[in-house]
Structure 1
Amino acid sequence: MGHPVNVGVVGCGFIFTQYCQSIERLPELRLTAVADLDLERAREAVRPYAGVDVLSVAELMADPRIDVVLNLTIPAAHAEIALQAIAAGKDIYCEKPLAATATDAARVLRAAADAGVRVGCAPDTVLGTGTQTARKAIDDGLIGRPVAATATMMTPGHESWHPHPDFYYAPGGGPLLDMGPYYITSLVTLLGPVTTVIGAAGRTRAKRTIGSGPRRGEEIPVLVDTHVTGVLTHASGALSTLVMSFEGAATSAPNIEVHGERGSLVVPDPNHFDGPVLLARVGEEGWRTLPATAGYVEAGRGVGLADLATTPAGQESRAGGALGYHVLDVMESLLSSAHSGTAVTIASTCERPRPVALPPAER
């Protein structure tokens, strides 16, 4: 575009610093202003960043300097803030999920289309060298036609370390909606969109005990499923088995494996941008580590925002709104299937995101 895109951030919570560290390193972006319900928190958050204005949300939306709004509010406020930005004629990039519900996410996309502005959505971790190298291995035919994948996230729950874990166990929380966006976004990046799902889910305890901080020992109610599993059928014909759980002490299973007719891949943790990609091929002994062959190098949270800023008009960015909506639709449908006991057809779809080439200097 020839000049940095001016970014206005709404929400100065924990993840704000991670985004700002990336924005400082990305020449495509300039941090211009921030807003938060707690103005003192906003002032403290931008103290390390010179020349950044602290505004009210209304002031930020009305500021003609702001090109794109980075929405780092809580999920329940994602749609409201996105719709305000769209009404102000600004592009919007949301931390995951795109909205609290697929219905609200659809409203955001419709409003953006009517206004002629663009929507992006985290996670952008899949744009790093980890998932992108695995994707290139698939596209290059190293495992033959993909037929299956597994995706596993197993922890005992966040109450052991988080001082205020209530929202993880309230509606809109749980292991699927908390961590599922990373895993399902990676599966769609690797194998394409999902057409049907069938799931099962449950919970073992009615209460959880906070293990750290000033509320240590306090019991909180569990109002959501804490173990969710299911099978995702991709439009390509591949089947992905998903396990998202707050019910296990640990697991030795890889975060993601992809199996093809001629080989298998171990894909790095989709919550990170990089990591080793392992390949085993039929007729060869053991696993070998692939060199990084694709993806943004040394990426951090915010690279998806930069990708949005540099994507030509009329073209969907790699971490685009259609992908974020599809992933949310898949998760809601999986929970619906788990509760009904029947398969659910996914109403939405999206294009498999464009690959990220390795920069010439890294090849």
Structure 2
Amino acid sequence: MNPLKVGIIGIGDISDVYINNLKRYSDVLEIVACASRGLEKAKQKAEQHSIPRPYASGMDVINDPDVDIVLNLTIPAVHNEFNIAALKAGKHLYSEKPLGSDLEGAKIIMQLAAEKGLMVGCAPDTFMGARLQTCRELIDNDVIGDLIGASAFCMYHGTETFHPNPDFTYKPGAGPLLDIGPYYVTALLALMGPVKSCSAMGKRSYEKREILSQPRKGEYIDVEVDTHILGNLEFQNGAMATMNMSFDIWDSELPRIEIYGTKGTLCIKDIDPLDGPNLFGGDLLLKTKEDYRWYGFPRASEHKAWVKVPSDRPFDSVSHAVNSRGIGMVDMVYALKNGRKPRASGEMAYHSLEVMTKMLLSAQEKRFYDIDSTFELPKILDIQKGFND
């Protein structure tokens, strides 16, 4: 198969990570076009990365007859517009999260793809990293037994402490659940499968937020969404999970994710709330019934420590600046080549967005919501075969 031609829409900071990673797979894909809202910026990015054709608009990329796959790295507000247009033009699609600007848009995207026989993939792809793949391997190999449940926590004091322009994170379509939550929800889905139902509570602790970062330090912005979300998920396999996503907390010692089974517990303990499933690598801790701290009486003076699980899996970066973002798209190209489903699939991304959307509705309406969609649990990455399975 000749390399598939990729056109990129949106060339902000994250685009450099994507482009550098995609270039490593030049045998199966080639970046041929990029677009920004201004031609000069597109030209600079094209020159930086030796991309043949810079464009002044995303539609120019979509209408380029040489482009096979559109990579959409734009802001969420325009995901419906560009993702739908790409599919209507007969292009395969890989999008940054979320799949659509809203659930209705995401539904149209998936319907269009099915009608036209096109493939859709969507970030985040961090679940394909070494840590979560090792976690999945332990679950599949019955190391922690049957799944009982999980916990997921990401609590910090919002983006105004570090982002130069944090306004968008406090507007509809964002907030902690839709901004950082996709990493956590996707991780749980990739480990535990589809969700059956959900419920949530939410609150807005501050009506205005003071920007603490430069260059707008001291300005106040309006808060238009709930910023402290408590959620519960019931999975199709009977397991349950608790989530707490918050922009209102100054600090916490809670772990990022724990997975509970009948034989043991897996723990992702990272202290930094922006680590956890937002990283590809990192430590994975294990406790089994043999290490249980409360065996016997009187209590032992020393408890058995958590075991750090070794891993020789690829994609193990613990950096936010240099990482493996884009491997989900590489896997999608191999899926097209080999006639299989992509791991970071549109179906899973749609399911994730439905779960989060209905959690927010549940918080408003004080009732449980059933989840209508489902997806096929993605296959674990084979260390020897990699994407070429």
Unaligned stretches of 5+ in structure 1? none
Query: Of residues 313, 323, 333 in structure 2, which corresponds to 1:309?
Result: 333
8 Å contact from structure 2 (residues 154, 246) kept in 1:
yes
In structure 2, relative to structure 1, the CA distance for the partners of 1:103 and 1:295 (3 Å cut) is farther
What is the distance in 1 between the residues matched to 2:210 and 2:32? 41
Q: Structure 1 residue 41 and structure 2 residue 41: aligned?
A: yes
Which SS does the other structure have where 1:283 is aligned? helix
- The Cα offsets for residues 283-341 of structure 1, whole Å up to 9 and x where unpaired, read as 22321111225564556111000011010465321001000000000000101111111
Deviations 1:211-262 (A, max 9, x none): 1223211100001000001110010111110010001112221111001111
Matches within 5 A, 1:242-261: 242-261=243-262
Counterpart of 1:345? Answer: 370
Q: Counterpart in 2 of 1:25?
A: 24
Instruction: Give the paired residue count.
Output: 360
- Paired residue for 2:283? 276
Q: Is residue 290 from structure 1 mapped to residue 309 from structure 2 by the alignment?
A: yes
Amino acid at match of 1:259: Y
Q: Partners of 2:13 and 2:136 in 1: how far apart?
A: 30
Query: Which amino acid in structure 2 is aligned with residue 8 of structure 1?
Result: G
Q: Does structure 2 conserve the Cα–Cα contact (< 8 Å) formed by 1:127 and 1:295?
A: no
Is the 1:133–1:295 contact (alpha carbons within 8 Å) kept by the matching residues of 2?
no
| Structure 1 contact 124–303 (Cα < 8 Å) conserved | yes
Q: Is the 8 A contact 1:295 1:357 kept in 2?
A: no
Q: Which residue of the other structure, out of 328, 340, 344, is the alignment partner of 1:319? A: 344
Please, what TM-score do these two structures have when normalized by structure 1? 0.95
User: 2:128 matched to 1:127?
Assistant: yes
| Root mean square deviation of aligned Cα | 1.6
2:99–2:346: 8 Å Cα contact kept in structure 1? Answer: yes
The aligned residue for residue 167 of structure 2 is 166
Question: Conserved in 1, the CA contact under 8 Å of 2:59 and 2:82?
Answer: no
Following superposition, the deviation at residue 206 of structure 1 comes to: 0.5
Aligned residue type for 2:335: T
CA gap of 1:34–1:360, structure 2 versus 1, over 3 A, is closer
2:331 alignment partner AA: D
Residue 140 of structure 1 aligns with an amino acid whose one-letter code is N
Per the alignment, in what secondary structure is the counterpart of residue 49 of structure 2?
coil
Q: Is the 1:296–1:359 Cα contact (8 Å) retained in structure 2?
A: no
1:87 Cα offset (Å): 1.4
Alignment of 1:1-363 (within 5 A): 1=1, 3-27=2-26, 28-55=28-55, 56-267=57-268, 269-284=276-291, 285-292=304-311, 294=313, 296=315, 300-312=324-336, 315-359=340-384
Deviation, 1:277, is 1.2
Change (3 A) 1:257 1:97: same
CA distance in 2, matches of 1:314, 1:110: 20
Provide the C-alpha distance between the structure 2 equivalents of 1:245 and 1:359, rounded to a whole number of angstroms. 39
CA distance in 2: counterparts of 1:100 and 1:62, whole angstroms: 22
- Percent identity over the alignment? 40
Distance 1:237 1:127 in 2: 24
SS at 2:233 equivalent: strand
Please state how far the C-alpha of 1:37 moved relative to its aligned partner: 1.4
> Counterpart of 1:147 in structure 2: which amino acid?
I
Q: Unmatched 5+ residue regions in structure 2?
A: 271-275, 292-303, 318-322
The CA distance in 2 between the partners of 1:51 and 1:103, in whole Å, is 34
